[in-house]
Structure 1
Amino acid sequence: MGLIGAGGIAENRHIPAYQSLNEDVEITGVQDVNLVRAKEVAEKYAIPHVYEDYLEMLKHVDAVTICTPNKFHESIAVAALNQGIHVLCEKPMAMNAAEGKRMVDAAEKNNRILMIGYHYRFMDAVALAKQSMADVGNPIVTRVQALRQRKVPGWGVFINKQLQGGGSLIDWGCHLLDTALWLVSPSKPVEVNAQTYQRLSKQPNQVNDWGSYDHEAIDVDDHVSAYIRFDDQSTLLFECSWAANIKEDKTHVSISGENGGLSVFPFELYQPKHNRMMETHTNTTEDQQQAGLLQAKNFIDACSGKAQLRSSPQEALQVSKVIDAIYESSNQGKSVFIN
């Protein structure tokens, strides 16, 4: 395994996961445009090789994990896939769906594994919700809230639209959007009406829990709301924010269906039985490190032909199409249909 990008997500999620799976995978190289940083990470985690150029790394590995800013996802992934290298790419898939489609095409052409890091699918509560959808029945209304109280990331390039493509939606909301789309599948989104905002984060003298940032430089969304209609007439009410003036952070996914309903965080199942509403509660974990480990295991097993991907590149591309439609709808001030 080679790591492309040696920032926080590589160090805090992917390196620990792969080193826990050391019977199945060995991290043999790391590359970053900041060579000093790459060398520091390599030394800290006993990674034997450091590369200045990821193209050189591709000659020496079986798979890569891409942890760069979003702008570079497509070009690196396509180059790797065309060299016969399997790819795990951090979310979102790319800057837009057109780039994502080129990644999918390269994976299919070269018969290689491409996985996008939507690790919420591997969280205990989400996996149980997926198994419980038979009790929910056909979805009617899905509700998603990915809300943070005053937590614009004050590090990295998160507020740079040229490098990231967007803000709270493309960085944080995409996780719960992917989760919801997976749970209600095979229902497919067909129409989006949305509005994006960047009012709060543009204000001077910020109250912000995640460090300081240049309020004049930020050019990405800090709030997003959307109404999404599906091909079976079900709907999804979506809201995400980095900087909400709310009491506390909120991570919420719930589904009301024809036979029952559920809420994911924490997991609860609601069913009409015996002339009353019954609630089922159970203990589930929301351990993101464990989810990252399970994601790495699934990717390695898929590369070895032992498993199918839980998160397919085609599904990740669908998420990107919805994200594109949300931004387009806001820009145009009207509903947008998804191809």
Structure 2
Amino acid sequence: MAKLRMGIIGAGGIAQSRHIPAYIHLRDSVSIEAVSDTNMEKAKEAAAAFDIPKVFPDYHDMFTHVDAVTICTPNKFHAGISIAALKAGVHVLCEKPMALTPEECRSMINAAEESGKILSIAYHYRFMKESRAAKKLIDQNEIGEPIVARARAVRRRKVPGWGVFTNKELQGGGSLIDYGCHFLDLSLWLLGNPSPVEITGTAYNKLSRIADEVNMWGDFDREAFEVDDHVTAYIKFDNGASLLFETSWSANVQGDEEIMSISGLTGGLDLFPLHLNQRKHGMLLNSNIDWTEGEDDPGLPQAENFIKSCLGVEELVVKAEEAMKVSQIIDAIYESSEKGHSIRLPIGGRE
């Protein structure tokens, strides 16, 4: 198999902790040729640490040296960099969320279609063992038609105190757009990627502004805190399915919780850990699923799928059109919270 030449745009934590190590592990099919960052010192440090041969202050100069790029910048820059890379004939894996608005997402998709290049978004929860097993069971009709999803991704007093996570201009939001987006994407995937048609949401900006509260993940400016730290929503889809959703950086709960469940017509699934609950043979059957296939680190199958898709030997798991639906939901939750009523969407986009 040919080797894909990879470039890294944005040399921060997610690049160095997930994407670069994954590509190094998959060195037989990919080589990291270049890195770019607006902070040249950070880019040079990453290049030295991971033996990356080229460093570029301007990411545009990278495009003639690579076949694909992985974008790890603040959310504000996802769309612009992705479109520039695609127009230059370069495949793109962009960190989540896809972009700040559904309109930006559509522009990214248009650029991918015009260029004929791959565009994927790094929703790595799809590649977790439990998620892949659940998808396989659903596709094999073990629970019947999926109708209700419940997603709860909450952390106890863990606002990220590093980077730009609390900067609304650069990130577009807080706990929802940073953390909850993974569970929105996972819910959509397991439900069969239906289109959202009505969303009711509430976004809170209170917990993290309390001056004497503890935060487990570093210091941040509480007076300037301008993003959401706790969000709830109810989402209806065009196929009749629905999603009960909650996410938080700062919840007053006993401990962090990641809960995902799908109820179907004949059975149900609980993830993290994975359980299959069925009605069969006149009995209620509950099964613990021991899923041992593949890697424990979801970053590895995510990277491998992107590489093989770029090389034309595997179908892409996270498609841009699916990721855009997540951004539509996020946008509608924020709008619903601001306006105080539900937001209706036509199938395929905003009204």
**Taking structure 1 as the reference length, what is the TM-score of the superposition?**
0.98
Aligned position for 1:304: 311
Q: Is the 8 A contact 1:125 1:285 kept in 2?
A: no
Distance (whole Å) between structure 2 residues aligned to residue 83 and residue 183 of structure 1: 34
Question: Which residue of structure 2 aligns with residue 313 of structure 1?
Answer: 320
Asked if the contact 2:147/2:191 (under 8 Å) is kept, the reply is no
Tell me by how many angstroms 1:276 deviates: 2.1
Give, as a single letter, the amino acid of the residue that structure 1 aligns with 2:191: V
Quote how far apart the aligned CAs of 1:289 are.
6.4
User: Which amino acid in the other structure matches residue 95 of structure 1?
Assistant: L
Does residue 1:100 correspond to 2:105, yes or no? Answer: yes
Aligned: 1:260 with 2:278: no
Give the residue type in structure 2 aligned to 1:137.
G
Q: 21, 25, 30: which is aligned to 1:25?
A: 30
Change (3 A) 1:211 1:299: same
Q: Deviations over 1:80-108 (max 9, x none)?
A: 00000000000000111111111011001
Residue 127 of structure 1 pairs with residue 106 of structure 2: no
Deviant stretches of 4+, over 3 Å? 284-289
1:115 aligns to what? Answer: 120
Q: Name the structure 2 match of 1:84.
A: 89
2:124 partner amino acid: H
Summarize deviations over 1:167-209 as a string: whole Å, max 9, x none.
Answer: 0000000001100000001433210001000110111122111
For 1:50, the equivalent position in structure 2 comes to 55
Aligned residues: 339
The 2-side partners of 1:20 and 1:169 are apart by 31
Identity of aligned residues (%): 53
Q: Which residue in the other structure is 2:225 paired with?
A: 218
Contact 1:123/1:287 (8 A) holds in 2: no
Offset of residue 284 of structure 1: 3.7
AA at the equivalent of 2:80: S
Q: Quick one: structure 1 residues 296 and 77, their matched pair in 2 at CA, closer, same or farther if it must change by over 3 Å?
A: same
**Structure 1 residue 75 and structure 2 residue 99: aligned?**
no
State the shift of 1:139 in Å: 2.1
Deviation of 1:285 (Å): 6.8
1:65: which partner in 2?
70
SS at match of 2:297: helix
Distance 2:294 2:96 in 1: 18
Structure 1 residue 257: Cα displacement: 1.0
Deviation, 1:255, is 1.0
**Given residue 332 of structure 2, which amino acid in structure 1 is its aligned partner?**
A
Aligned counterpart in structure 2 of residue 180 of structure 1, from 184, 187, 195? 187
CA deviations on 1:252-289 (whole Å, 9 max, x unpaired) are 11011101111011110100123221011122479996
- The residue aligned with 1:292 is 299
1:12 counterpart (17, 36, 57)? 17
Match for residue 45 of structure 2? Answer: 40
Summarize the alignment of residues 136-215 of structure 1 with structure 2, pairs less than 5 Å apart: 136-215=143-222
Decide whether the 8 Å contact of 1:266 with 1:284 is kept in 2: no
Asked if 1:279 corresponds to 2:286, the answer is: yes
Between the aligned partners of 1:90 and 1:13, the Cα distance in structure 2 is: 11
Range with bigger deviation, 72-81 or 53-62: 53-62
Equivalent AA in structure 1 for residue 220 of structure 2: Y
Structure 2: which 5+ residue stretches go unaligned? 1-5
Work out the CA distance in 2 between the residues paired with 1:283 and 1:209: 33
Could you tell me how far apart the structure 1 residues matched to 2:50 and 2:268 are? 45
Amino acid corresponding to residue 215 of structure 1 in structure 2 = R
Q: What is the aligned-residue RMSD (CA, Å)?
A: 1.4
Deviates more, 1:280-289 or 1:53-62: 280-289
**Separation in 2, partners of 1:229, 1:268:** 25
Amino acid at match of 2:197: V
Provide Cα deviations, 1:209-234, integer angstroms capped at 9, x if missing partner: 10111001111000000001112322
2:142 is paired with a residue of what secondary structure? helix
Matched residue, 1:329: 336
3-state SS in 2 of match to 1:279: strand
